Amino acid sequence: MKKLLSLAVMAIGLAEAQAQDVKIEFITPSIVHVVKGQPTKTLVVTAKPQDVALTKKGNTTSSKELTVKQDAKGNLTFLTAKGKVLLKEKDCDVLQARQTFTLDKDEAIYGLGTIQNGKMNRRGEKKRMEQSNLEDFQNVLQSIKGYGIYWENYSPTLFEDNAEGMTFDAEVGNGVDYYFMYGNNADGVIAQMRYLSGDVPMFPLWTYGFWQSKERYKSAAETEGIVDQYRALNVPLDGIIQDWQYWGSNYLWNAMDFLAEDFSNGKQMIQNVHRKHAHFMISIWASFGPMTQQYRELNEKGLLMPFETWPQSGISHIWPPVMKYPSGVKVYDAFHPEARAIYWKYLKTLYDYGTDAWWMDSTDPDFFNPRESDYAHKVYGGTWRSQRNAFPLETVRGIYQAQRKDYGQKRVFIMTRSSYAGQQHYGSNMWSGDVNSSWDMLRKQVPAGLSYSLTGNPNFNTDIGGFFCGSYNTKGSGSAPRNPQFQELYVRWMQYGLFCPVFRSHGADAPREIWQFGKKGEPVYDAIEKQIRLRYRLIPYLYSTAWQVTSNNDSYMRPLFSDFAADKKVWNITDEFLFGRSILAAPIVKAQYTEEKIIRTDAMTGWNRQNATDGSAAGAIDFTATKTTTKYLPKGAAWYDFWTNKQYKGGQDVTLETTLDRVPMFVRAGSILPLGPEMQYVGEKAWDNLEMRVYPGANGRFTLYEDEGDNYNYEKGQYATITFQWNDKARTLTIGARKGSYPGMLTKRQFTIVTPDGKQQSVNYDGHQTQVRIAK
């Protein structure tokens, strides 16, 4: 290892210190960029360095927030302004792009991405970080001590924490390049990461409703008919998703047009969906079949990559793939600006038909049987190995920027299977891939989503029910929704999905629409409907939280330590989290009515439609029976059971009576929780009489946010907020004067104030401050 020379400070106005082998640059008083050797040409960092005032004493450089020391061996130590040690470098190998750090013995570390092992704390972890169907990596890690690291390298990287230290070891790189961020807590680190790489634009209001999908609707009539059936049953729905092969054969893979016979008029189908007050999302891929226009144009320009990807065979209906009929499908070079422009040129066809949202599948992308020559293939900006993990960022960014440039006002909404650091800035929500339908996998989704959120990317969801459910088809193909084992799993998964930013049912092997599980009046059907209806009631709270995500660097899904780091009992809790700042979500992730099935599939074997079942199915199950579960309530707050309004003191385990149709959830004392009207789709009813639930026990504050819902006028200041403040001692609720305005805004309305004791009173509101006293 090279010995690093002592730090030499350059001009304070440049906020930069440099030695022969080490360069540090203060981007802000709280963010330090460290480079040893050659820096990475950034695809992520958009922030420009501030003019940071620095002081130097010997080998120490300080801002008002951070101090960086360099020892005789060249290793750096990061300290707070008060001298508390945050992190120490141990050693590095510049030529190997490897850096080791020393952590405190009991220091918990979090993030990196959606690692599917059911853990939150990354201590003791060893993981090769390369994008895949089920696991995605953002190279962002944060500590319980309130600092974070963004490892600026796009090649696959080995992360390992052991007795020797915590190490990032990249496969490609001529140097070590990382950002040290001090935020004081989890929210602060997230804010620093978003400062570096971009804020989170608002999604359309309608995206927070319920989405129905499956693999796959095989005709335009079927797709449209799903919306009809939801409307006929009066079950809320806002989105329908069209999965792959609407383009026809695999040789026309991702042609971005309705070429299959059963989709002969896709444009009309989309128009019909809109007339039913629903929105339309469509599957698009990062690869193209050899008979498509896109393939030919990209191929002529050398903008396709040579490796094997999905689908491997041109014969679409046979598994395993018939390799003597190769599909010829190739992934495009998303790093190349010309390739991204070609991609969008053809995608505009679907947009012009009326498509509302993009489902960007295989943005990892699928990369089968990798060869060294594949990794060495030159792409724009480097080699496939050197750029590998940033592929999802570049392909998503290409769509976001192009749509905003060409069409301006309509908000971009992208759902994608993979993500990299900074992707939060490009209108995307990531889902966790083709996970199997098992209780074990459901349990893993909770920490996976929280870990993802801790990297600065707030938008996460999963396939409700799990993607591969074929092992539950014990009474024939597609019978899983009538198998009690799958029914219980699906309901509990939906109750978890209730607290994800996107609420979407999807999967293979069996349909997932509500009527597949029974009929109204039956416990499973009723439980599913209850979750959907609750989701719509929560939308005013959720949309206001979305504004805090955009304007205040908040997160939707918050690990308990984000708010209760002083309570060490919450550091490793993986089945509870905060949904926004008021609701504690505690979904049930273990079977209570049926036996758990052990399901082992991966993203390839799961596609085998012949996957075996064990031949068993649960016997007569009484889903109306009452069960119990135990949940932990964090210390430092009092909590109300959302359903019973019973109050609990924090810092204890509580045992609850549970039913199939209720997800355990609590509301923090001091919260002000807005609930909207029940509706069939977002916008059906005005928010002219919101129920405002006030939970005494602490002072509280909540800001209700409203805008036009599906354009970017909010970026120009066209939105309105109303701040509610609860004074617990005086028992008064102050409804502040409305701030801001937007076209179509309600100027007069009512609020119905409700407290846990059942008392309620109505308040007329015309935009001026008013105060309500609530008697005990």
Cβ within 8 Å of residue 579, ≥6 positions away? 499, 556, 557, 558, 585, 665
Percentage of residues in the chain having pLDDT higher than 90: 93
Nearest to 310 by CA among 361, 371, 266: 361
564 vs 144, 429, 456, 660, 707, CA distance in Å?
Answer: 11, 27, 19, 29, 32
DSSP characters over 482-497: GSHHHHHHHHHHHHHH
Could you tell me which CATH class the domain 672-773 is placed in?
mainly beta
Quickly state the pLDDT bin for 597 (edges 50, 70, 90). Answer: confident
What is the predicted pLDDT for the residue at 599? 77
* 204 touches 171 (CB < 8 A): no
Exposure on the CB side of residue 741, measured as CA atoms within 13 A: 7
Q: Find the length of the chain.
A: 776
Q: Which two tokens stand for residue 234?
A: 């009066």
Q: What is the DSSP letter of 390?
A: G
The residue with tokens 């020797």 is 164
Q: For residue range 440-455, list pLDDT tens digits in order.
A: 999 999 999 999 999 9
Q: Which two tokens stand for residue 390?
A: 């940033």
Rounded Cα gap, residues 312 and 325, in angstroms: 9
Rounded Cα gap, residues 444 and 43, in angstroms: 30
What is the predicted pLDDT for the residue at 609? 58
Is residue 308 classed as helix, strand or coil in its secondary structure? strand
Q: Which two tokens stand for residue 665?
A: 């959830």
Rounded Cα gap, residues 145 and 167, in angstroms: 18
80 vs 69, 334, 508, 677, CA distance in Å?
Answer: 11, 40, 51, 48
What is the predicted pLDDT for the residue at 542? 98
Report how many helices (DSSP H) and strands (DSSP E) the chain contains, helices first.
13, 46
Nearest to 39 by CA among 164, 170, 166, 131: 170
What is the predicted pLDDT for the residue at 18? 38
Q: What is the dihedral of CA 325, 365, 126, 123, to 10 degrees?
A: -150
SS (H, E, C) 649-677: ECCEEEEEEECCCCCCEEEECCCEEEECC
* pLDDT higher than 70, residue 349: yes
Quickly state the pLDDT bin for 12 (edges 50, 70, 90). Answer: very low
Rounded Cα gap, residues 673 and 753, in angstroms: 10
* Residue 14 or residue 236, greater confidence: 236
Mean pLDDT for the chain?
Answer: 95
The residue with tokens 């997230």 is 190
Q: Which two tokens stand for residue 196?
A: 């570096």
* pLDDT higher than 60, residue 733: yes
Nearest to 201 by CA among 462, 428, 417: 428
What is the predicted pLDDT for the residue at 618? 54
Q: Where are the domains of the chain?
A: 1-198+356-462, 672-773
Quickly state the pLDDT bin for 14 (edges 50, 70, 90). Answer: very low
Amino acid sitting at position 511 = P
Instruction: Tell me the mean pLDDT in the region 489-504.
Output: 98
Rounded Cα gap, residues 664 and 637, in angstroms: 17
Backbone φ, ψ for residue 197 (5° rounding): -120, -5
What is the predicted pLDDT for the residue at 414? 98
* 663 touches 498 (CB < 8 A): yes
Q: In 10 A of CB 4, how many CB atoms?
A: 22
Q: Which two tokens stand for residue 568?
A: 């060490």
CATH fold match for the domains 1-198+356-462 and 672-773: yes
Q: What is the DSSP letter of 759?
A: -
Q: Which two tokens stand for residue 168?
A: 């990032």
Angle (CA) 699-458-286 rounded to 5° is 165
555 vs 300, 531, 572, CA distance in Å?
Answer: 44, 22, 19
* 312 touches 321 (CB < 8 A): yes
Instruction: Tell me the mean pLDDT in the region 368-396.
Output: 98
Measured on CA atoms in the order 375, 379, 383, 384, is the torsion positive or negative? negative
CA 341 to mean position of chain CA atoms: 26
Q: What's the pTM?
A: 0.96
Rounded Cα gap, residues 705 and 712, in angstroms: 15
What is the predicted pLDDT for the residue at 15? 35
Amino acid sitting at position 141 = L
The CATH code belonging to domain 1-198+356-462 is 2.60.40.1760
What is the predicted pLDDT for the residue at 164? 97
Nearest to 707 by CA among 544, 542, 537: 544
CA 177 to mean position of chain CA atoms: 26
Is residue 754 classed as helix, strand or coil in its secondary structure? strand
Rounded Cα gap, residues 617 and 484, in angstroms: 8
Instruction: Tell me the mean pLDDT in the region 108-112.
Output: 98
